Homo-oligomer: A and B are copies of this chain.
Amino acid sequence: APVTPDASRSVQLAVIPGDGIGPEVTAEALKVLEATPTGVKFEPTRYDLGAERYLATGEVLPDTVLEEVRAHDAILLGAVGGKPGDPNLPPGLLERGLLLRLRFELDHYVNLRPSRIFPGAASPLADPGEVDFVVVREGTEGPYTGNGGALRVGTPAEVATEVSVNTAFGVERVVRDAFARAQKRRRKLTLVHKTNVLVHAGAVWWRLVQEVAPEFPDVTVDYMHVDATMIHLVTNPSRFDVLVTDNLFGDIVTDLAAAITGGIGLAASGNVNPDRTTPSMFEPVHGSAPDIAGQGTADPVAAILSGALLLEHLGLDDAAAAVERAVVEELAARTPGAPVVTAEVGDSVAARVAG
């Protein structure tokens, strides 16, 4: 089971580079992890999961591979997804069979997505102000469970359902994690939901936020409908500190959050099991971008920052902060509009953290 490493110990890292630009950005994230003076040794094992393996073998995530991955301390993932419209690749198969399956099997109930505006980052907002918030997205239930089905498929009488499943068990644990994170930050938690329409799910989220709140008396709580959240994210994103929400709302909110802070090229994420009974998984929010793959021009910053989240999860807070600082320096030194060279970004950040 993954534990906080000590100086005498090595960290067993499962690396899933994936498809498209995944391998390119993962290589740089690994380079930076290995250069950071942590006192621990990273021992990476690569797993060639993704579109290529599926197309060659029909395998998405064999159970034996899942068990091997599970035996690691942490997972670093690049990006998964083949060429859009590839007739041999059923749409969504890899996302569900690999990405979501890992999140569910490894019980990654905290999908952690920090958003801040880095120096030099080009926000599409005219006046974003200071932006520094974290979305704690539930990762193991809600509309992502695959519950639902369809009747009379392909006919004019088809009925298709999707069932969002929300349990007190699942909501309470992610809410408590979000409160704890808020307590270590600016002590403000916003529940995002649609309680006026989704009354059953809304009630369980609302209730558990009220029930857990007394454990964190110094954290201020507010509530915002998901539609209103859209407005606040583009007109006053500084108001947010920690947002907690369900799996689907979190998916939507975090892409907008990434966009307003300068693009998903910079957005990092952690699929975290805070109980540490399984390895947590760290991945950039961006996809595999097959259109720019293999050119060495993908921005590895999101992958590198995902590496910083990995360090933090392992308890290596100083090292995590050092990587963040190095990225800030790197971004500040960029010439606006100049093309990115993937390996140079990794080299430069690695050099900065090394000293």
Binds B, one of A253-261, A307-315, A338-346: A253-261
Nearest B residue to A154, CB-CB: B207
| Contact present for B164 and A162 (CB under 8 Å) | yes
CB distance from A290 to the nearest CB of B (A): 15
The answer, yes or no, to whether A336 is at the interface (CB within 8 Å) is no
**Contact of A161 with B91 at beta-carbon distance under 8 Å, contacts A124-B127, A169-B156, A255-B227 already known:** no
Within A132-176, the residues touching B (CB, 8 Å) are 143-144, 146-150, 152-169, 172
| Contact present for A252 and B226 (CB under 8 Å) | yes
The answer, yes or no, to whether A251 is at the interface (CB within 8 Å) is yes
- List chain B residues, Cβ under 8 A from A259: 230-231, 234-235
Q: Is the contact region of chain A dominated by helix, strand, or loop, or is it mixed?
A: mixed
Of B91, B126, B195, B203, the contact of A126 (CB 8 Å cutoff):
B126
Of B155, B168, B194, B234, the contact of A234 (CB 8 Å cutoff):
B234
- List chain B residues, Cβ under 8 A from A304: none
The answer, yes or no, to whether A46 is at the interface (CB within 8 Å) is no
The answer, yes or no, to whether A100 is at the interface (CB within 8 Å) is yes
The answer, yes or no, to whether A58 is at the interface (CB within 8 Å) is no
- List chain B residues, Cβ under 8 A from A153: 203
CB distance from A198 to the nearest CB of B (A): 5
Chain A 182-212 interface mask (CB, 8 Å, partner B; 1/0)? 0000000000001111111111100100000
- List chain B residues, Cβ under 8 A from A100: 197
Of B163, B195, B227, B234, the contact of A251 (CB 8 Å cutoff):
B227
| Contact present for A200 and B160 (CB under 8 Å) | yes
Complex Cα–Cα for A123 and B231 (A): 11
| Contact present for A197 and B167 (CB under 8 Å) | no
The answer, yes or no, to whether A352 is at the interface (CB within 8 Å) is no
- Give 8 nearest A-B pairs by CB, closest first: A92-B196, A230-B256, A158-B168, A227-B255, A160-B200, A126-B126, A162-B164, A231-B259
Of B158, B204, B227, B264, the contact of A160 (CB 8 Å cutoff):
B204
- List chain B residues, Cβ under 8 A from A263: 231, 235
Of B124, B159, B199, B252, the contact of A167 (CB 8 Å cutoff):
B159
CB distance from A153 to the nearest CB of B (A): 7
The answer, yes or no, to whether A95 is at the interface (CB within 8 Å) is yes
| Contact present for B166 and A160 (CB under 8 Å) | yes
| Contact present for B166 and A163 (CB under 8 Å) | no
The answer, yes or no, to whether A351 is at the interface (CB within 8 Å) is no
| Contact present for B91 and A143 (CB under 8 Å) | no
| Contact present for A155 and B126 (CB under 8 Å) | no
Chain A 270-285 interface mask (CB, 8 Å, partner B; 1/0)? 0000000000000000
| Contact present for B204 and A158 (CB under 8 Å) | yes
CB distance from A216 to the nearest CB of B (A): 19
